[in-house]
């Protein structure tokens, strides 16, 4: 794909882009785009690294952890009470109390009981524990007031996990509960996958760094910060490559620098024609190059997707809202697959009722930002600025988005929709 | 609350705790416990610190951010196309094309149009933008094929946010979208609340560090790791204070060290009587001391809550499952309030249908772990080991829990329940 430039004598600079004044020739549907992009991308097994358990939180496990011991290691009491032989109290009741002698012996004799606290190992011979509240102590013996069956109130050896059993599988993100199980098994270090590294830059002559003095008509760069923090949220390491002017060489340089990373996300410069050079640069870098350019989604239509040197490249529009939505659609599942995760983690969803009708365009998948509010009759979803799709404040005023499929022209008032939440629900 | 110790001649060591062999006298309901604990706790305004925007992600904003400029600063084009005067094309259509002369002038004359790319400022005099696909270029002029109204396809000055308007309020957790808005406004640094510091230790003679060689009957400590990583998840800084033996002085020392933190969480040693000294130690430290001891919940019944020197103390049972659930019930909201958050962030919830009946005890709030699986007919919730409440593997086999209220004796098969999710839903 090469542009042909005309120079028209009287039309000044405008003429330079005449040949491209036709917009996108054909848009891919979101599903087509995902399918094409993912099947062109290789997902090599990520590199692994060994880490102490404490540092492995939220990381993806890269090995199968097998229990090297039974958990619990021995039969333990699950309550405060008395170790007994169940057969001695099999018919005990309020009205037929069974009296057992108290002992401290390591082996429990018939018709004896031994005081235990929660977690204490059972003495040999004992097979049940009478709960404190179901007993009464009388001098040096106890009365048991309820019948017990073998195993009652006992955490049996290996009941939690048995020696040789798989405790945690590879591809799992290690949450506190997984770490807890691994710690209980005495596992001190685990093999985890390295986080994917994502090269990130913004393009545009009008873009300047936050913190600098802004010239007239300049726009502060918000996309790099948004995309970087979203990458972290999804479990990747962002590599900040700065801002590129709308200049073939500068954009080329950024992409080349980013090919050392596992994937690249650029924002801006993805329209067809005019100063937008990003897809053109990517096609000059290597095969297969651009795979998708123009997606039937709103916002996010000028998204382009490519693969160069087996590295996936995602080119999102400069509009921050479009960039955020496109990140959710394309980067989130891609990064998770690059992370070695066994299954994709979507945002939490919630069902809510639309408070009013909204209109969308047929043939486009539309991401409508909504504010979900918890009401006594169930959650409601209030559309936030259906029109101004480029307004970044719509993302802070909303707490989620709902997806209107391509074959619909909007959502009805009162309709129940699935909302993908990016902030907590408001209770009101 | 002081214990009276008896020494009975023939009953060996057991006699030492005879006076306490009665279990919990009265349990507080979960709601009572929360209410008593929170109303005894002072929530001072957290200290603040200034941070660059990049480091403020997921932190709680401590100031009101007001827009110092309009966003956008000027009227900008929302599309690729031509800036026009709407009045010139108010009746344009496919069948009545309106021809406008192309210009590059800074001020748009009547019946003229100027080429613009998305984000470009509008020339003076222009008040709408004709989308590229609704125009046709003919030599040095364009034909407009659709009617436009003033403001159409224009991002109006101040439309996103107006100068003087509040952009982000204090008490909000800064997510990527908030950072994006602040960056777009040129805000480079923000005042955030310091994270609350939570002192954490485990108690128990049988507990040993993961990584050490374990003696017979010892248990590896999993609670500190679970509680520490949960604290981080909720936005607090855990202070690891190690393990205390079941010894009055050692436990006292840990609590004293922890009073420098904003709150304390201990695990183990909370039962009534026997070797469980934790609540006794806390009462010796200062007023008001123990506020709640024994909560009508399952798991988590032996939970104790206290305030000493205006610092909240949460004493959870040694069973890791009970500790995790008690953390969710008591520590999660407490830490969030200590963080300066304007509203409590609960775990994401989901409605799912129970795959089978389960029985619970009347008068106890029961936290039933379930595995939610996405099915074509909607999500289903499969109870995970209703019986073995102390099994830590139930937390890794489940991905959420549902709460059975005190006035019910279980859940019916097919009943729709709200599940609090701690891991992603499984798609199957």
Give the pLDDT mean for A383-395.
79
Query: In this structure, how many other beta carbons lie within 10 angstroms of the beta carbon of residue A240?
Result: 14
Parallel/antiparallel/unpaired status of strands A207-208 and A166-168? unpaired
Comparing alpha-carbon positions, the chain A residue that sits nearest to B73 is A217
pLDDT exceeds 80 at position A6: no
Spatial separation of the C-alpha atoms in residues B226 and A111, rounded to whole Å:
41
pLDDT exceeds 50 at position B19: no
pLDDT exceeds 60 at position A21: no
pLDDT band for A7, please (50, 70, 90 cuts). very low
In this prediction, residue A275 carries a pLDDT of 78
Burial category of A43 from C-beta neighbours within 10 Å (exposed 0-12, middle 13-18, buried 19 and up): middle
Helix, strand, coil proportions of chain A in percent (round to 5)?
20, 30, 45
pLDDT exceeds 90 at position B13: no
User: Which residues 25-54 of A have a C-beta within 8 angstroms of B?
Assistant: 53-54
pLDDT band for A388, please (50, 70, 90 cuts). low
Average pLDDT, chain B: 91
Comparing alpha-carbon positions, the chain B residue that sits nearest to A272 is B80
Comparing alpha-carbon positions, the chain A residue that sits nearest to B181 is A392
Q: Is there a contact between B126 and B85 (Cβ–Cβ < 8 Å)?
A: yes
Write out pLDDT tens, residues B337-385: 999 999 888 898 889 999 999 999 999 999 999 999 999 989 999 999 6
Look at A121 and B78 and tell me if their CB atoms are within 8 Å. Answer: no
Look at B177 and A396 and tell me if their CB atoms are within 8 Å. Answer: yes
Residue B90 structure tokens: 């108010």
Q: Is there a contact between A278 and A202 (Cβ–Cβ < 8 Å)?
A: no
Write out pLDDT tens, residues B180-225: 999 999 999 999 999 999 999 999 999 999 988 888 789 999 999 9
pLDDT band for B386, please (50, 70, 90 cuts). low
Partnered with residue A383 across adjacent β-strands are A370
**Does domain A24-45+195-338 match CATH 3.90.1150.10?**
no
Question: Is the minimum CB–CB distance between A366 and chain B shorter than 8 Å?
Answer: no
3-state secondary structure of A41: coil
pLDDT band for B387, please (50, 70, 90 cuts). low
Look at B391 and A155 and tell me if their CB atoms are within 8 Å. Answer: yes
Number of A–B residue contacts, CB under 8 Å = 261
HSE at residue B193, side-chain half, CA atoms within 13 A, is 29
DSSP string, B61-120: B-S-EE-SS-BSSS-EESSSEEEE-GGGGTT-BTTB-EEEEE---SBPPTTEEEEE-TTP
pLDDT exceeds 90 at position A8: no
In this prediction, residue B297 carries a pLDDT of 95
Look at A423 and B175 and tell me if their CB atoms are within 8 Å. Answer: yes
Look at A78 and B23 and tell me if their CB atoms are within 8 Å. Answer: no
Q: Work out the minimum CA distance from B101 to partner chain A, whole angstroms.
A: 10
Looking at domain A49-64+168-193, its CATH architecture is Alpha-Beta Complex (3.90)
Cα–Cα nearest to A184, from A167, A166, A172: A167
pLDDT band for A118, please (50, 70, 90 cuts). confident
Write out pLDDT tens, residues A240-262: 999 999 999 999 999 999 999 99
3-state secondary structure of B280: helix
Per CB-CB distance under 8 Å, the chain A contacts of B349 are: 350
Look at B392 and A177 and tell me if their CB atoms are within 8 Å. Answer: yes
In this prediction, residue B273 carries a pLDDT of 67
Question: Is the minimum CB–CB distance between B276 and chain A shorter than 8 Å?
Answer: yes
- On the question of a cis peptide bond just before residue B371, with omega within 30 degrees of 0, the verdict is no
pLDDT band for B58, please (50, 70, 90 cuts). very high
3-state secondary structure of A149: coil
Residue A366 structure tokens: 């539309």
Give the pLDDT mean for A299-319.
95
Q: Work out the minimum CA distance from A124 to partner chain B, whole angstroms.
A: 14
Q: Work out the minimum CA distance from B194 to partner chain A, whole angstroms.
A: 20
A349-427 matches A49-64+168-193 in CATH topology: no
Spatial separation of the C-alpha atoms in residues A97 and B176, rounded to whole Å:
65
Average pLDDT, chain A: 91
Dihedrals phi, psi of B18, to nearest 5 degrees:
-55, -40
Dihedrals phi, psi of B96, to nearest 5 degrees:
-135, 70
Spatial separation of the C-alpha atoms in residues B103 and A121, rounded to whole Å:
90
Residue A4 structure tokens: 């042909």
Per CB-CB distance under 8 Å, the chain B contacts of A176 are: 225-226, 229-230, 233, 324
Residue in A8, A184, A222 nearest the CB of B180: A222
pLDDT band for B117, please (50, 70, 90 cuts). confident
Assigned CATH class of B48-71+159-193: alpha beta
Rg, chain A, Cα only: 31
In this prediction, residue B11 carries a pLDDT of 34
pLDDT higher at A346 or A415: A415
Residue with tokens 């995902």: A34
Cα–Cα nearest to A351, from A379, A328, A374, A373: A379
> What are the Cα distances from residue B160, in Å, to A124, A235, B74, B121?
74, 30, 11, 15
Residue B416 structure tokens: 């729709």
Q: Work out the minimum CA distance from A136 to partner chain B, whole angstroms.
A: 8
Residue A55 structure tokens: 């540092």
Per CB-CB distance under 8 Å, the chain A contacts of B73 are: 217
Spatial separation of the C-alpha atoms in residues B123 and B154, rounded to whole Å:
12
Question: Who contacts B170 (Cβ-Cβ below 8 Å, separation ≥6)?
Answer: B61, B62, B63, B64, B340, B342
Question: Is the minimum CB–CB distance between A276 and chain B shorter than 8 Å?
Answer: yes
Write out pLDDT tens, residues B101-114: 999 998 999 999 99
Our CA angle for A102, A104, A106, nearest 5°, is 125
pLDDT band for A80, please (50, 70, 90 cuts). confident
Residue in B10, B72, B188 nearest the CB of A211: B188
Q: Is there a contact between B365 and B407 (Cβ–Cβ < 8 Å)?
A: no
pLDDT higher at B427 or B116: B116
E strands in A247-295: 263-267, 288-293
Q: Is there a contact between B119 and B107 (Cβ–Cβ < 8 Å)?
A: no
Residue in B18, B222, B426 nearest the CB of A183: B222
Give the pLDDT mean for A36-58.
96
Query: What percentage of chain B exceeds 90 in pLDDT?
Result: 81
Give the pLDDT mean for A393-418.
96
Residue in B10, B183, B390 nearest the CB of A210: B183
Query: In this structure, how many other beta carbons lie within 10 angstroms of the beta carbon of residue B296?
Result: 21
pLDDT exceeds 90 at position A265: yes
CATH of domain B23-45+195-338: 3.40.980.10
Residue in B155, B302, B426 nearest the CB of A390: B155
pLDDT exceeds 80 at position B427: no
Q: Work out the minimum CA distance from B320 to partner chain A, whole angstroms.
A: 8
Write out pLDDT tens, residues A128-174: 999 988 999 999 999 999 999 999 999 999 999 999 999 999 999 99
Q: Work out the minimum CA distance from A61 to partner chain B, whole angstroms.
A: 14
Per CB-CB distance under 8 Å, the chain A contacts of B225 are: 53-54, 176, 179-180, 183
Look at A160 and B119 and tell me if their CB atoms are within 8 Å. Answer: no
pLDDT band for B328, please (50, 70, 90 cuts). very high
Residue with tokens 């939180």: A57
pLDDT exceeds 70 at position B7: no
Our CA angle for B310, B312, B314, nearest 5°, is 160
Per CB-CB distance under 8 Å, the chain B contacts of A211 are: 186, 188
Give the pLDDT mean for A308-317.
96
In this prediction, residue A12 carries a pLDDT of 35
Spatial separation of the C-alpha atoms in residues B337 and B38, rounded to whole Å:
10
Give this complex's ipTM: 0.90
3-state secondary structure of B380: strand
pLDDT exceeds 80 at position B98: yes
Give the pLDDT mean for B55-81.
94
pLDDT exceeds 50 at position B241: yes
pLDDT exceeds 60 at position A182: yes
Ordered by start, the domain boundaries in chain B are: 23-45+195-338, 48-71+159-193, 76-155, 349-427
3-state secondary structure of B398: coil
In this prediction, residue A386 carries a pLDDT of 57
Look at A219 and B119 and tell me if their CB atoms are within 8 Å. Answer: yes
CATH topology of domain B349-427: Beta-clip (2.40.340)
Query: In this structure, how many other beta carbons lie within 10 angstroms of the beta carbon of residue A356?
Result: 12
Q: Work out the minimum CA distance from B112 to partner chain A, whole angstroms.
A: 13
Q: Which of A12-26, A413-427, B182-196 has the lowest mean pLDDT?
A: A12-26
Give the pLDDT mean for A384-391.
70
Assigned CATH class of A76-155: mainly beta
Q: Is there a contact between A191 and A62 (Cβ–Cβ < 8 Å)?
A: yes
User: Which residues 61-90 of A have a C-beta within 8 angstroms of B?
Assistant: 71-74, 78, 80
In this prediction, residue A344 carries a pLDDT of 86
């Amino acid at each position: 794909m090469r542009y042909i430039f005309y120079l028209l004598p009287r039309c000044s600079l405008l003429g330079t882009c005449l040949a491209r004044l036709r917009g996108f020739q054909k848009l891919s549907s979101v599903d087509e785009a995902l399918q094409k992009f993912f099947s062109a991308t290789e997902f090599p097994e990520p590199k692994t690294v060994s880490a102490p358990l404490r540092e492995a939180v939220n990381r993806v496990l890269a090995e199968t952890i097998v229990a090297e011991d039974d958990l619990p290691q021995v039969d333990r009491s699950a309550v405060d009470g008395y170790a007994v032989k169940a057969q001695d109290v099999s018919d005990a009741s309020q009205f037929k109390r069974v009296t057992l002698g108290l002992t401290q012996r390591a082996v429990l004799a018939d018709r004896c009981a031994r005081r235990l606290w929660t977690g204490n190992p059972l003495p040999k011979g004992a097979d049940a524990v009478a709960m404190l509240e179901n007993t009464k102590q009388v001098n040096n013996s106890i009365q048991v007031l309820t019948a017990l069956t073998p195993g009652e109130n006992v955490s049996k050896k290996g009941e939690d996990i048995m020696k040789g059993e798989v405790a945690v599988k590879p591809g799992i993100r290690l949450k506190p509960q997984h770490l807890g199980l691994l710690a209980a098994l005495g596992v001190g270090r685990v093999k985890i996958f390295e986080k994917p590294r994502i090269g990130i830059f913004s393009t545009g002559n009008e873009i300047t760094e936050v913190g600098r003095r802004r010239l007239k008509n300049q726009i502060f760069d918000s996309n790099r910060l948004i995309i970087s923090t979203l990458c972290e949220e999804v479990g990747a390491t962002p590599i900040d490559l700065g801002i590129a002017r709308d200049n073939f060489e500068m954009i080329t340089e950024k992409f080349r620098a980013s090919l050392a990373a596992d994937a690249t996300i650029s924002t801006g410069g993805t329209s067809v024609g005019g100063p937008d050079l990003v897809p053109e640069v990517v096609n000059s870098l290597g095969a297969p190059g651009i795979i998708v350019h123009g997606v039937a989604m709103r916002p996010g239509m000028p998204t382009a997707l490519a693969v160069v040197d087996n590295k996936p490249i995602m080119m999102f529009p400069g509009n921050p809202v479009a960039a955020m939505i496109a990140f959710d659609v394309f980067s989130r599942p891609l990064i998770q697959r690059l992370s070695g995760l066994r299954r994709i983690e979507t945002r939490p969803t919630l069902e809510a009722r639309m408070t009013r009708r909204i209109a969308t365009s047929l043939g486009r998948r539309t991401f409508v930002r909504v504010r979900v509010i918890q009401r006594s009759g169930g959650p409601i979803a209030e559309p936030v600025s259906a029109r101004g799709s480029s307004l970044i404040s719509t993302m802070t005023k909303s707490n989620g988005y709902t997806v209107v499929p391509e074959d619909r022209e909007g959502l009805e008032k009162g309709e129940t929709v699935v909302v993908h939440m990016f902030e907590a629900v408001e209770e009101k």
